[in-house]
Structure 1
């Protein structure tokens, strides 16, 4: 009976080990190619981001706002857009040579209304887009290239409501191209030749951002999940095999690394480097799999519409016109955002001087500079999470583990308000103007460690002492490349050896 049981266990183990080797061998041939590509492209992404038009770049490109030409009140503009609620965003800026109101409703749809006569602007043709791009860039000339729903540099879903887009080339030395919305006339994206080149080696392969795939978000999400999932299986099976083939006491007579490994050459590199970097490699692949939030395990970063409306203290599409003469002290404003903050109507006036963008806040009803106390902001924040009490609040004057700038800047100082709800919600508020800058809860804070820390290694002590972060991430990436490239070589040798035998 014992012999039969032992034989059964041995058979199960031999079957498991056989499939362990088969999975690692054949899935690893393609998997190691992907992993090597991800490490190489990740090194590029450390220094070249995917093309995007930052808010500072957008404001710097806007012409100075001509307030004397404004004939339409904010209320009339919202009525002209057909809004029944105060929008998520309302701003006044120039479009070509005329002032316009730009709004984004709570469904994410943009609206543009002329500030001259309240006429809705719902389409912008190619010649007009060409002139908008020329003025935006301050270029001598601009050339229309095409009008398309999307291309390689406009695949993200955030641009969907503004499509189609006119692509305008400036024909400058940098090869700059601007994308102007055919619906609203807004400049939505800028790229240059160097940025496009490096992104073909960086973000595009790393995120699998190929236009036919990324144009279908559910398909792209499944591709990311399955490719990274297969690579996780390759890593797990490889770590298991690596430990099975490692000897510390009874060492191999003709092996490498002091006889702890039975392999030589590329196999030895793959074995020893794979074990040395096993935890890093597995955490890096698993965090990449988590990047698309499988099964929506982690909630979003933003507060819901009802919460934001409670904080604003205004729901109806109303905003006082105010006395614009009070804005005369803001020399050459490029944009005026209109918002309700803690029950107060606020002008956020953005100016740009020599490439430096400055935003000042004023009360729209009095024209005076805005002054919000911590008590006022905390009282307004209490409305964000109904049924919960404020557990505490504190000023952040320097970055911490959850509020830090790495690939995007984080404003300081901020007021952090903590709630005692089940999700342990935190709200971050800009004391200068009352803007809600971010939301966090216990789930997002876990995600910060599972994804950001494991994938980007954005630990505070590394980021504070750069280039320490660059050195550590480069060394880890090189270790990952040794494992993956050696796996590619081994796999291709086996493939071609099999072909020669056939």
Structure 2
């Protein structure tokens, strides 16, 4: 039986240790340089102050021009290529832009519109049009699907920024600085095996990652078992050592004993990040659309955009973007300034508030499960299931403000909702499968544990030291595998 353990570990290692070495190396890079994305703060900081001179058509006109048959999932008023535009998103469909002055639907597909959008992003930098693209190295994210095809513009700024502009609305949807692009070639692009994208195996990419990770986990477990069996605790080998190996084999053996368990957890948790076979998907998801208590329609928002901007200015908020939101059937206009601050204009009383009343969010949440028992709590500090991450991390761009309202239901999945008091947005849905994913992926893979996250650089030292240990283990395995193949 031992012989088969050795054989399985050896031949799996010959095929997989190179992948593990790449994963450990690129994982260290990803600690500090994430895959390019346009964060909400970057987006707002590059927008001009909303100017509604000779503007705007009524929201009902814009809705009819966008799609008279369907209600949108979101409505924003922003500045695109120097002009005020209503921006609409629809589930499973392309985004839509409507000229806020004329009420006509606008399609952005040419070079001039892309360059105008780039000038708005950075008026001082020269811009060079790089042409359209459906998907490339820095635009694999599914979050961009509603904006494809994308237009690319290269800026001659200090950061060498490459902009991706929506082919549907003309808005800048991604920026990729030269430093990000360079490090990502040995970071996220390598870690997620993106070199395999775009060469005819895209449909297999997800399964390939899943089964590579699964096989690598099995290989690492076999290695840990063999490492323990070959280590002599009471009686050393004839050489005086407790390990029978020399050279790279000795490095591999001792490295496995020191770092093998953590290597197993990292490879396994990487597998969990892919949600293999949808094990973390909810079997009976809640109807979270009921939180709005109706579609986004103009009747719920009697106050005009121009009046809303004036009200926000009176309260000290210079808005760069407006967002229409429905919470429990009541309309609210959210004003965003360039620093990420928000104010809420209620359609009920016409007053501007710093945040929505707690009872409004609780009533809206109860509509999600009308017959179920609900318990809510106000979180004034981060905990294991609600916390902020560094901006470069995978989900670090998502705003996690405090306080936040957590609502718990007594449904079979024991679902939790996190509701943003500042905008009324439903920030996340956590049921039992997703909380298990929080343990098996976020905790084990990136050590999202507050005692470490809140004590930098302790977290950094922990991650780097053990990543280097895993890299030594993997590289020594690559050398041993190469030697075996040469024989």
TM-score clears 0.5:
yes
Instruction: Work out whether residues 255 and 264 of structure 1, in 8 Å CA contact, stay in contact via their aligned partners in 2.
Output: no
Deviation for aligned residue 1:175: 1.1
Q: 1:450 to 1:420 in 2, by over 3 A?
A: same
Deviation for aligned residue 1:153: 0.4
Match of residue 374 from structure 1: 358
Deviation for aligned residue 1:276: 2.3
The structure 2 residue matched to 1:422, chosen from 412, 422, 425, is 412
Distance 2:372 2:473 in 1: 50
The structure 2 residue matched to 1:184, chosen from 147, 151, 169, is 169
Match of residue 473 from structure 1: 463
Distance 2:469 2:199 in 1: 30
Residue 328 of structure 2 corresponds to residue 338 of structure 1: no
Match of residue 8 from structure 1: none
The size of the alignment, in residue pairs, is: 473
Greater Rg over alpha carbons, structure = 1
Instruction: Work out whether residues 293 and 367 of structure 2, in 8 Å CA contact, stay in contact via their aligned partners in 1.
Output: no
Instruction: Work out whether residues 385 and 438 of structure 2, in 8 Å CA contact, stay in contact via their aligned partners in 1.
Output: yes
The structure 2 residue matched to 1:307, chosen from 255, 277, 288, is 288
Deviation for aligned residue 1:301: 13
Distance 1:214 1:119 in 2: 40
Summarize deviations over 1:201-260 as a string: whole Å, max 9, x none: 11011111226359865311011012212211221221222222122223212153xxx2
**Highest relative contact order (Cα 8 Å, sep 6+), 1 or 2?**
2
Deviation for aligned residue 1:289: 1.0
**Mapping of residues 2-13 of structure 1, within 5 Å:** 13=1
Residue 233 of structure 2 corresponds to residue 248 of structure 1: yes
Q: 1:85 to 1:351 in 2, by over 3 A?
A: same
Instruction: Work out whether residues 342 and 434 of structure 1, in 8 Å CA contact, stay in contact via their aligned partners in 2.
Output: no
Residue 246 of structure 2 corresponds to residue 264 of structure 1: yes
Distance 1:443 1:400 in 2: 18
Distance 2:87 2:57 in 1: 13
Distance 1:285 1:49 in 2: 19
Deviation for aligned residue 1:476: 0.9
The structure 1 residue matched to 2:303, chosen from 296, 319, 322, is 322
Instruction: Work out whether residues 196 and 202 of structure 2, in 8 Å CA contact, stay in contact via their aligned partners in 1.
Output: no
Instruction: Work out whether residues 269 and 445 of structure 2, in 8 Å CA contact, stay in contact via their aligned partners in 1.
Output: yes
Instruction: Work out whether residues 416 and 429 of structure 2, in 8 Å CA contact, stay in contact via their aligned partners in 1.
Output: yes
TM-score by length of 1: 0.89
Distance 2:278 2:68 in 1: 31
Match of 1:400, SS? Answer: coil
Distance 1:375 1:183 in 2: 38
Q: 1:431 to 1:78 in 2, by over 3 A?
A: same
Q: Which runs of 5+ in 2 are unaligned?
A: none
Query: Could you tell which deviates more after superposition, 186-195 or 171-180?
Result: 171-180
Residue 399 of structure 2 corresponds to residue 413 of structure 1: no
Deviation for aligned residue 1:111: 1.2
Instruction: Work out whether residues 170 and 177 of structure 1, in 8 Å CA contact, stay in contact via their aligned partners in 2.
Output: yes
**Mapping of residues 205-216 of structure 1, within 5 Å:** 205-210=190-195, 212-213=197-198
Deviation for aligned residue 1:39: 0.7
Match of 1:333, SS? Answer: coil
Match of 1:34, SS? Answer: helix
Match of residue 211 from structure 2: 226
Match of 2:341, SS? Answer: strand
> RMSD of the alignment, in Å?
2.1
Match of residue 340 from structure 2: 357
Instruction: Work out whether residues 59 and 334 of structure 1, in 8 Å CA contact, stay in contact via their aligned partners in 2.
Output: yes
TM-score by length of 2: 0.92
Deviation for aligned residue 1:78: 1.0
Deviation for aligned residue 1:478: 1.5
Deviation for aligned residue 1:140: 4.0
Match of 1:49, SS? Answer: coil
Query: Could you tell which deviates more after superposition, 283-292 or 75-84?
Result: 75-84
Distance 1:411 1:214 in 2: 41
Summarize deviations over 1:88-141 as a string: whole Å, max 9, x none: 110111222321110011334311111122211123311111111112122342
**Mapping of residues 27-426 of structure 1, within 5 Å:** 27-210=12-195, 212-213=197-198, 217-256=202-241, 260-299=242-281, 306-308=287-289, 310-315=290-295, 317-318=297-298, 319-323=300-304, 324-328=306-310, 329-330=312-313, 332-352=318-338, 356-364=339-347, 366-370=349-353, 372-390=356-374, 392-406=375-389, 407=393, 408=396, 409-426=399-416
Query: Could you tell which deviates more after superposition, 207-216 or 172-181?
Result: 207-216
Instruction: Work out whether residues 169 and 178 of structure 1, in 8 Å CA contact, stay in contact via their aligned partners in 2.
Output: yes
Q: Which runs of 5+ in 1 are unaligned?
A: 1-12
Q: 1:99 to 1:216 in 2, by over 3 A?
A: farther
Summarize deviations over 1:361-406 as a string: whole Å, max 9, x none: 111354311463322321211112343211x211111110010112
Distance 1:332 1:186 in 2: 21
Match of 1:286, SS? Answer: helix
Query: Could you tell which deviates more after superposition, 136-145 or 366-375?
Result: 366-375
Match of 1:68, SS? Answer: coil
Query: Could you tell which deviates more after superposition, 421-430 or 487-496?
Result: 487-496
